[in-house]
Amino acid sequence: MPFYHKLGKIPKVKHTTFYKDDNKSLYREELISSKGFSGIYSNVYHFNLPTAVKSVKELSPVKDTSWPEAPVLYYHFFTDNKKTGGNFINSRNEYLTNPHCKISTAIITEDTEDFYRNALGAEFIFIHHGKGKLLSHFGVLPFSEGDQLVIPRATTYQLKFDDYDNNKIMIIESDTAYEIPKHYKNEYGQMEEHAPYCERDFRPPEYLDPKDEKGEFRIILKANNRLFEHIVPHHPFGVVGWDGYLYPYAFNIKDYHPKVGRIHLPPPVHLLLMTGHFIICNFVPRLFDFYDTAIPAPYFHSNIDSDEVLYYVEGDFMSRKGIKEGSITLHPGGMPHGPQPGKTEESIGAKETKEYALMIDTYNPLKPTINVKETLDKDYAKSWLENGKG
């Protein structure tokens, strides 16, 4: 969605006759649009009616993992400790949720022929470990470690991994679309020179693999916590061509160009994407502040109206102790947060950091689930007591 893209065969003029090779039967045009008819859209050309459904059945809902008595507190938990596997649809474990944002991780140990569609949520998927392809009716998008996949709401897709030995992903579901921040774009929609990325850093689907196949294809459709099985009579990727701005795309965290300041710069300089209710930042290796008495570690701060989540990817995180790859910290609004004892002093004079992490700042409070309780670092909430005593 950062730019116009086109794949396969499309008619010269939209909303006109577009015949298959037999010169008799029509391809079926579908406008996939956002914000009614006022947001970005794509026109997609199907072999068959995209509306055909043979049967619909409600499945067991997403497992209730709510933890109503979870206190408002600092949290650190180890998502890698949750070893449950499964396929790319059923392996997800939710950790933090609010009505607009759900943060999950998944260890994917098996393939499936099923298709998946999140009817009510756009999905952001961080590929922590694994390599493979995102398949959808928009085409084939190869991915590897560090990729961040942005999948528009209601996209029918599959994740196919090259193997099933070591695959770990982090998923953020949003009830509003992921968007490039407006201040990164000029009045023509092109990325500004000061943005931390440009168009060539974003990868759209590369090629179409049109499937004109009849049969029984199973789509698992998610609508918040309800799951449905839709059996459709045509292959969901039976698309001969499309064009527009709405499609899944990839951006690798290692392609993010960080900004460096004379003194400590705040998190908005690490901004990657925005939604209506939260933002995502990329923290990547960078030189530290260059003023001679600058303190590279962040100052203590209170984000009075947002919760702050960090997902740790790799490297030594400068302001935290006891963090491992796959750790998540939650610092809720309503409480100050900052470096642990010794970390401020340790950062003075440091020249650079090698850390990779993602930050999610939500405007509504997040609720920890029982998966947080199960994987909790129980000492974290008291880890700011100096010498363990205060």
The contact set with Fe ion (CB under 5 A) reads 308
Beta carbon of residue 332, minimum distance to Fe ion (angstroms, whole number): 11
**Least separation, in Å, of the C-beta of 337 and Fe ion?**
6
- Per DSSP, helices labelled H in the chain are 343-347, 370-374
**In the complex with Fe ion, which residue's Cβ is closer, 242 or 380?**
380
Q: Which is nearer to Fe ion, 191 or 295 (CB)?
A: 295
Dihedral of alpha carbons 227, 232, 236, 240, sign: negative
Sheet holding 239-244, edge to edge: 5-8, 239-244, 41-46, 28-33
Amino acid at 72: V
Block residue for tokens 């209710």: 277
Decide whether 147 or 308 has the Cβ nearer to Fe ion.
308
CB nearer to Fe ion: give 240 or 360.
360
DSSP state of 190: P
Residue 103 to residue 96: CA distance in whole angstroms: 5
Taking the complex as a whole, the smallest distance from the CB of residue 105 to Fe ion amounts, in Å, to: 21
- Shortest Å distance, C-beta 308 to Fe ion: 5
d(C-alpha 267, C-alpha 255), whole Å? 18
Shortest spacing between CB 344 and Fe ion, in angstroms: 14
* Residue 360: CB minimum distance to Fe ion, A: 11
Shortest separation between residue 361's beta carbon and Fe ion, angstroms: 8
End-to-end CA distance of the chain: 50
By C-beta, is 177 or 328 nearer to Fe ion?
Answer: 328
> Shortest Cβ contact with Fe ion: which residue?
308
Distance CA 374, CA 65 (A): 11
| Count of alpha carbons within 13 angstroms of residue 363, beta-carbon side | 8
8 or 365: whose CB is closer to Fe ion? 365
Q: Which helix (H) or strand (E) holds 46?
A: strand 41-46
Q: Which two tokens stand for residue 185?
A: 């774009």
User: Which of 224, 303 has the CB closer to Fe ion?
Assistant: 303
Nearer residue to Fe ion within complex by CB, 173 or 307: 307
Which among 10, 47, 41, 237 is positioned nearest to 139, based on CA atoms? 237
HSE (side-chain half, CA atoms, 13 Å) at 145: 9
Burial 76-114 (b: 16+ CB within 10 A, else e): bbbbeebeeeebbbbbbbbbbbbebbbbbbbbbbeebee
Least CB distance from residue 256 to Fe ion, whole Å? 18
Which H helix or E strand runs over 187? none
Shortest reach from residue 302's CB to Fe ion, in Å: 9
Smallest separation, CB 383 to Fe ion (Å):
15
Residue 267 tokens, joined = 């998190």
**Helix, strand, coil % in the chain, rounded to nearest 5:** 10, 40, 50
Residue 372's φ and ψ, nearest 5 degrees, are -70, -45
Between residues 173 and 308, which has the closer beta carbon with respect to Fe ion? 308
In the chain, how many H helices and how many E strands?
A: 2, 26
Would you say 181 or 267 has its CB closer to Fe ion? 267
